[in-house]
Amino acid sequence: MAELKLKDVRYRYGKAARDALSGVSCEFRAGEVAAVVGPSGSGKTTLLSIMAGLDRPSGGEVYLGDKELGGMDLDEYRRRYVSVIFQAFHLFPLLTVLENVCFPMELNGVPEREAKGRAREKLAQVGIAEEKHRRYPSQLSGGEQQRVAIARALSSGARIILADEPTGNLDGENSRNIVDILTRLAHEEGYCVVIVTHDMAIAEAADSVYVVSDGVLTRRI
């Protein structure tokens, strides 16, 4: 069964003259990496925002498994089921690395000791050494910051990872490293991973590729 399914989704921003997404239908599965490519302004981030539950579609439906999101509390959906990773990392600058990773668990009511233990585990999983746990994000390289952001995404327990240009601010080697981590999470741990990217190498390595053009999505692979 698809982890996340969109059925004829349409979205229009406030007073915009036209739809940012129209008639979008697709399925994203657990254990797979899907890439979404397309020109600037075509609707990729809008699509991810709908899937992340940041907004309701103007038409159509989004399903988590067999449950329609319309009947769910979006706050809970965002806290428990999806994690978003951004190009600009979006770590909290005044929290340490460890505190950043603990944050979503605290929101979910996980006791502090347990949260710290799990955070250390997730940081190890993305290759952030113990000595860096007390640093602030500004004291890390870009690649390290993105790995902390992934650890934070994992710490919520969400099984769907939505990444918007996660390697946009990174060089080739760091990009590959991030994509390797995301791919491993999908293939070995069964996460459902969706990556918006301009990087054709990332798209080619994905299990499926979608192209968005003027708000219309088509599957390529």
Residues forming contacts to ligand ATP in the complex (CB under 6 A) are: 13-14, 16, 20, 38, 40-46
Query: Nearest distance from residue 166's CB to ligand ATP, in Å?
Result: 13
Instruction: Give me the sheet containing 67-68, strands edge to edge.
Output: 21-28, 4-11, 59-64, 67-68
Shortest Cβ contact with Mg ion: which residue?
Answer: 45
The tokens for 20 are 């940012």
Residue 46, binding choice from Mg ion, ligand ATP, none, Cβ under 5 to 8 Å by partner class = ligand ATP
Question: Which residue number, 42 or 167, has a Cβ lying nearer to ligand ATP?
Answer: 42
Question: Which residue number, 46 or 175, has a Cβ lying nearer to ligand ATP?
Answer: 46
DSSP β-ladder status, 67-68 and 192-196: unpaired
Query: Nearest distance from residue 107's CB to ligand ATP, in Å?
Result: 25
Rounded to whole angstroms, how far apart are CA atoms 46 and 129? Answer: 35
Question: Which residue number, 39 or 172, has a Cβ lying nearer to ligand ATP?
Answer: 39
Q: Assess contact for 47 and 217: CB atoms under 8 A.
A: yes
Rounded to whole angstroms, how far apart are CA atoms 167 and 89? Answer: 10
Q: Assess contact for 146 and 166: CB atoms under 8 A.
A: yes
Residue 41, binding choice from Mg ion, ligand ATP, none, Cβ under 5 to 8 Å by partner class = ligand ATP
Mapping DSSP to helix (H, G, I), strand (E, B) and coil, where does residue 171 land? coil
Residue 40, binding choice from ligand ATP, Mg ion, none, Cβ under 5 to 8 Å by partner class = ligand ATP
Query: Nearest distance from residue 53's CB to ligand ATP, in Å?
Result: 16
Question: Which residue number, 44 or 133, has a Cβ lying nearer to ligand ATP?
Answer: 44
Query: Nearest distance from residue 217's CB to Mg ion, in Å?
Result: 14
Query: Nearest distance from residue 87's CB to Mg ion, in Å?
Result: 8
Q: Assess contact for 92 and 103: CB atoms under 8 A.
A: yes
Question: Which residue number, 41 or 172, has a Cβ lying nearer to ligand ATP?
Answer: 41
Site residues (vs Mg ion, CB under 5 A)? 45
Question: Which residue number, 37 or 98, has a Cβ lying nearer to Mg ion?
Answer: 37
Handedness of CA 109, 110, 112, 115 (dihedral sign): negative
Residue 104, binding choice from Mg ion, ligand ATP, none, Cβ under 5 to 8 Å by partner class = none
- Residue that the structure tokens 């293939």 belong to: 187
- Farthest-apart Cα atoms in the chain, separation: 52
Q: Assess contact for 157 and 115: CB atoms under 8 A.
A: no
